[in-house]
Amino acid sequence: MGMKRFGRPGASLAAVLFFAVLWTGWGAPARARVYIDITSPYLKQIPIAVPYLLPESGSAEEAAAGRRLARILSDDLAFHGVFSVLDPAVYGGRPDADWSRFRVDYLVKGSVRVTGETLVAELRLFDQATGDFMDGRRYTGRTADLRTMAHRFCDVVLRAVTGEGGVSLSRIAAVITMNGAKEVYTADFDGYGLRRETFDRGITVSPRLSPDGRYLAYTSYRTGRPALYLKDLQTGKTRRLAAFDGLNIAPAWHPDGRRLAVTLSKDGSPDIYLMDLEGRVLRRLTWGPSINVSPTWAPDGRRLAFVSDRGGSPQVYVLDTASGEIRRLTYQGDYNTDPQWSPRGDRIAYVGRVEGTFQVFTIPAEGGDPVQLTTAGSNENPAWSPDGRQILFSSTRYGGRKALYVMFADGEFQRLLLTAGDGVAMPSWGPEAAPGGP
């Protein structure tokens, strides 16, 4: 799929000319950009409209593609929680609607052209208050690439308005149970494009996408014993990473993408070790007769949160890998597990047992009062979005069967993302797939 950015260095002459037409037809150059602070607790959703894209030839096929692309882009924008998208039914989905009748801060306009299996989409973002053109793209690809085009432009809109991109190009990995087997699948951030990654016909658990999106680390019982595996999503090749006696579980990527913290029991009770991508143990990180499992790295790569029963019950602890100092993080409740450090570094999500069911909490990384985010059903396996704004988790609220849900970091706007087979669990949320990948 090709992409051009209007009016930028490297754009084709046609793209530059098209930009010039837009500039002349829709107002003066934009002023110095002032971004909206989406971290403000007082931020209200920004009203935006995404009318149906105009069919260049007027064909029914192009009209359908224009409507579908606009719907996907609208869903993507709503997913991020920054925008309130005006329902096209209110104004007929027409780009030439009388916008003075509606409160709309931003407006997306565009067109589509379909020739055989090739689709060209042109999308432009405008500041409705000033009429300024803010950004635009021309995408060329297969008709099957329509969804990806919408995802890409969603991030363009987010960056133009907030100064930060979104997660529209990110991917998730999760374990789906089907016919008694647990296999790892990947999908787009919105649950579409499901793709099977393992074919072990048994039990695979704890999938973790690498920081660059190229690799998938996981534990498989394909030989009857737990071993760590690494799949290159670019080439499709899988190799065994570690198969020591005992446990080989719970891989956690270091932020540099070249190392993993893993749980091994080769020296006795389960402890956490640092390993490279060739399966070589570089360093032992925890010691003692207690059980030490479920590592997760801080974004600085110097601290590690993990679960230990050294105090008598499973609790979350934080290790400073340079000094070896360990401090207890959770004190509320007698069973806290599965910590996941936010990419923003400020909070750690974890699972706590409340009246016999599991619920998702977050707690300041430096310690403090936890906040319970879920209440309905049993909820486990929190996974942060790459931008740290949302949390993916598994829940039994969907008819008692595990399904994937997503919520904002404060617990608001909890909604179903993916249900499949006999249940979906253990999600990981990673960046855009590496070039050449799926």
Task: Give the pLDDT score at 3.
Answer: 57
Structure-block tokens of residue 314:
């499973």
Q: What global pTM score does this model have? A: 0.89
- Residue 142 lies inside a defined structural domain of this protein: yes
pLDDT (average), residues 282-304: 96
Residues 299 and 347 in one domain: yes
- Residue 342 lies inside a defined structural domain of this protein: yes
The whole-chain average pLDDT of the chain stands at 91
- In eight-state DSSP terms, residue 233 is T
Looking at 144, 162, 180, which one is the last position of a domain? 162
Residues 232 and 157 in one domain: no
Is 218:262 a contact under the CB 8 Å cutoff? no
Looking at 112, 134, 162, which one is the last position of a domain? 162
Residues 284 and 339 in one domain: yes
Task: Give the pLDDT score at 20.
Answer: 29
pLDDT for 41 beyond 80: no
- Could you report the per-residue pLDDT of 153-171, keeping only the tens digit for each? 999 999 999 999 999 999 9
Task: Give the pLDDT score at 34.
Answer: 52
Q: Distance between CA 387 and CA 382 in Å, rounded?
A: 15
pLDDT for 134 beyond 90: yes
Residues 7 and 125 in one domain: yes
Q: Distance between CA 29 and CA 255 in Å, rounded?
A: 40
- Residue 436 lies inside a defined structural domain of this protein: no
- Where is average pLDDT lowest: 4-8, 176-180, 341-345, 364-368? 4-8
Q: Distance between CA 20 and CA 423 in Å, rounded?
A: 52
Please state whether beta strands 2-5 and 133-142 pair in parallel, antiparallel, or not at all (unpaired): antiparallel
Q: Distance between CA 230 and CA 227 in Å, rounded?
A: 10
Looking at 138, 162, 186, which one is the last position of a domain? 162
Residues 74 and 148 in one domain: yes
pLDDT for 22 beyond 50: no
- In eight-state DSSP terms, residue 53 is P
pLDDT (average), residues 395-420: 96
pLDDT band of residue 12 (cuts 50, 70, 90) is: very low
* DSSP symbols for 238-307: EEEEE--SS-EEEEEE-TTSSEEEEEE-TTSS-EEEEEETTS-EEEE---SSS-EEEEEE-TTSSEEEEE
pLDDT for 263 beyond 50: yes
Residues 180 and 135 in one domain: no
pLDDT (average), residues 27-44: 50
Element (H, E) at 72: helix 60-79
Task: Give the pLDDT score at 432.
Answer: 84
pLDDT for 37 beyond 90: no
- Residue 286 lies inside a defined structural domain of this protein: yes
CATH number, domain containing residue 356: 2.120.10.30
- Residue 187 lies inside a defined structural domain of this protein: yes
Residues 194 and 323 in one domain: yes
CATH number, domain containing residue 67: 3.40.50.10070
pLDDT for 13 beyond 50: no
Cβ-proximal residues to 40 (8 Å cutoff; 6+ apart), any chain: none
Domain total in the chain? 2
Print burial letters for 285-308: b (CB count within 10 Å at least 16), e (below 16).
Answer: bbeeeebbbbbbbbbeeebbbbbb
pLDDT for 24 beyond 70: no
Parent domain of 398: 171-430
- Could you report the per-residue pLDDT of 61-110, keeping only the tens digit for each? 999 999 999 999 999 999 999 999 999 999 999 999 999 999 999 999 99
Q: Distance between CA 323 and CA 285 in Å, rounded?
A: 11
- Could you report the per-residue pLDDT of 349-378, keeping only the tens digit for each? 999 999 999 999 999 999 999 999 999 999
- Residue 37 lies inside a defined structural domain of this protein: no
